[in-house]
Amino acid sequence: MSASHDWPALPLEDWADTQATLHLWTQVVGKVRLALTAPVSHWWSCTFRVTPRGLATGVMYHGAAPVAIAFDLVDHRLLVDVGSDRRTLALEPRSVASFHDELLATLADLGAPVRIHPVPNELPDPVPFPDDHVHAAYDAAAVERFHRAHLLADRALRDHRARFIG
């Protein structure tokens, strides 16, 4: 990815199905973060961090084992780390149900089984993750543009925050 400061074109109508799927996948991972993280200031500890390659949870703990999950939006894979072990899941056209089931099975296989509330938040008429076979789109090029926009927004917000006194 180049270091350009040009904002990518990202009209919602061009990637709405992928955006909806990716949003739900991030909710699944966010629910894992909720389960493994103590609430700090209204759950602000559960936000994702923007990284050069995508979005990441930061370190969480399952007992004594450190756990981290990262969306690599460059190579289109989900990185699941428990201790020194890593597994990857492909980010490709697949249902929310498949993503949910494989992520929880992967965490269990790595010794970090997690129970989550399996329903998306703040959506009208939410479909539980294990039952959502509708949202399954993944346009890699659109996701890369989305990631580029995240990087530019992150930089702008950091620059603004750095100059804030008050």
C-alpha 131/C-alpha 96 separation (Å) is: 8
pLDDT at 49 over 70: yes
Q: Indicate the pTM of the whole model.
A: 0.92
Binned at pLDDT 50, 70 and 90, residue 160 comes out as confident
Cα separation of 104 and 109, whole Å?
9
Burial class (CB in 10 A: 0-12, 13-18, 19+), 24: buried
Residue of 90, 89, 95 lying closest to 109 (CA atoms): 89
Quote the distance between the C-alpha of residue 4 and its chain's center.
24
pLDDT value, residue 46: 77
| Nearest residue to 71 via CA among 90, 94, 46 | 90
Examine the pLDDT at 85 and tell me if it is beyond 70.
Answer: yes
**Domain chopping of the chain, boundaries:** 12-162
The pLDDT value given to residue 115: 97
